[in-house]
Amino acid sequence: MSAKPQFIFCGCQFGAQSVLKQEILGSWPDFKLSFSRPGFVTFKLPADFPTKSLPTLDLKSTFTRCSGISLDSVRADNETDRIDQIRQILGNSELPDFDHLHVWKRDCQIPGDRGFEPGRDADTDALAARIARSLDYENLPLNRIAKADQRILDIILVDDNQWWAGWHQATRTPTRWPGGVYSMTLTPEIVSRAYRKMEEAIRWSRLPMKPGDLVAEIGSSPGGACQALLARDLQVLGIDPAEMHPTLLAHPNFTHIRKKASEMKRSELTHVKWLMSDSNVAPNYTLDSVEHIVSSKRTNIRGMLLTLKMIKWELAAELPSYLDRIRSWGYQYVRARQLAFNRQEVCVAVQRNRSKRR
Ligand SMILES: C[S@@+](CC[C@H](N)C(=O)[O-])C[C@H]1O[C@@H](n2cnc3c(N)ncnc32)[C@H](O)[C@@H]1O
């Protein structure tokens, strides 16, 4: 009897599924594209793919927000029937004991469009509680951050009447977050959604920034990202020809340098340890500005978080060359991820020396 076919699922940004498919099929040419919707893609694996590696499989994909073993889908007009079908799938599969239940929705819009932001909400949390009750998983933490090595049952709300069941084992930081999204509680004073982006970038990258370190951000106006940095008691230089929000200007640890990056004297950045960039320009222009700074003997930048705008999706194919360019400046540890709170852009985390933490 032939072995049952194996599938994996990948969650991504709404609209990023085409670049995700190209990226995965480029690295894993034996995978076959299976079910796909904007923001959610599944692949059939070759028959000889090692089953044991699947729960912690690292696809090494910039555009995959989260992934796992795909068990099957359920389709029914009412919730009770969908939950019953999930029960059957779980009963028919050889599964480990789970430590967490994550119930998450496929993104149905681009983050930031018409107020949409990815991640947990009251509806998915309430549904998670109903599913846990029906499936006798009431003892599991629901939509909480898992610890490394814990096993997570994923129920993915792909459409109103169609869900997907899967599971994965937590490894790196974002694999512990429900649907790969770090869920944060925001205060009303956030001046731009870049706050979310910076918060997620810091938690994903785990750059070892310490209170009091000096950080500069190129493209800092109006100032959400700088707020997230200031909330960590960092000293912040905002570099932007545009105005900063008054909240930032009033902060004692914030200095605005009202210039374009190219107009900066590198001596102004001598004490900067960490460099952020979020300019709305093409990636090569961002990299030119950053290279100008890091290549100077007057600066000593330990690490960076760079937003590269994919002003057209075709630029995704250039990512490996952008990362090589960054490595050529003497930075060993360079990773790219399309953050949940990114729009059509990716975040590159850069460290001169590899931190021991994963
Ligand atoms: C997406 S916004 C930045 C949002 C900001 N990071 C925040 O937290 O609110 C892009 C910014 O890049 C700035 N910018 C574009 N080219 C620049 C350059 N060469 N140097 C500095 N800033 C630049 C623009 O003025 C604009 O304010």
Going by C-alpha positions, the residue among 160, 91, 172, 170 that lies closest to residue 127 is 160
User: Using a 6 Å cutoff on CB, does residue 279 contact ligand 1?
Assistant: yes
- Conformation bin of residue 212: beta by default, left when phi > 0, alpha when psi is -120 to 50: left
Parse the chain into domains and list their residue ranges.
Answer: 7-180, 194-351
- Whole-number Å distance, alpha carbon 244 to ligand 1 midpoint, is 10
Global confidence as pTM: 0.96
Going by C-alpha positions, the residue among 341, 292, 307, 331 that lies closest to residue 217 is 307
Number of H helices, E strands in the chain: 8, 14
User: Which pLDDT score is estimated for 209?
Assistant: 98
What would the DSSP string read from start to end of 208-235? ---TT-EEEEES--S-HHHHHHHTTT-E
Mutate which of 217, 265, 279 for ligand 1 pocket (most atoms within 8 A of beta carbon): 279
Going by C-alpha positions, the residue among 42, 49, 47 that lies closest to residue 12 is 42
User: Which pLDDT score is estimated for 1?
Assistant: 47
The CATH architecture assigned to 194-351 reads 3-Layer(aba) Sandwich (3.40)
- Whole-number Å distance, alpha carbon 279 to ligand 1 midpoint, is 4
User: Using a 6 Å cutoff on CB, does residue 281 contact ligand 1?
Assistant: yes
CB 119 within 8 A of CB 173: no
**Residues 6 or more apart in contact with residue 270 via CB below 8 angstroms:** 298, 299, 300
Token digits for 341?
């709170």
Q: What is the DSSP letter of 298?
A: T
User: Using a 6 Å cutoff on CB, does residue 227 contact ligand 1?
Assistant: no
User: Which pLDDT score is estimated for 2?
Assistant: 55
- Whole-number Å distance, alpha carbon 283 to ligand 1 midpoint, is 13
Mean model confidence pLDDT for the chain: 96
For residue 194, CA distances in Å to 77, 162, 227, 257 come to: 38, 33, 9, 19
For residue 180, CA distances in Å to 82, 118, 144, 203 come to: 23, 10, 11, 12
Return d(Cα 70, Cα 9) in angstroms, integer. 5
Average pLDDT, consecutive stretches of 10 residues, N- to C-terminus, the chain (358 residues): 84 98 97 98 97 96 98 98 97 93 97 94 97 97 98 98 98 98 87 97 98 98 98 98 98 97 92 98 97 95 98 96 98 97 98 69
> What fold, for 7-180?
VC0802-like (3.30.2130)
Please count the residues of the chain. Answer: 358
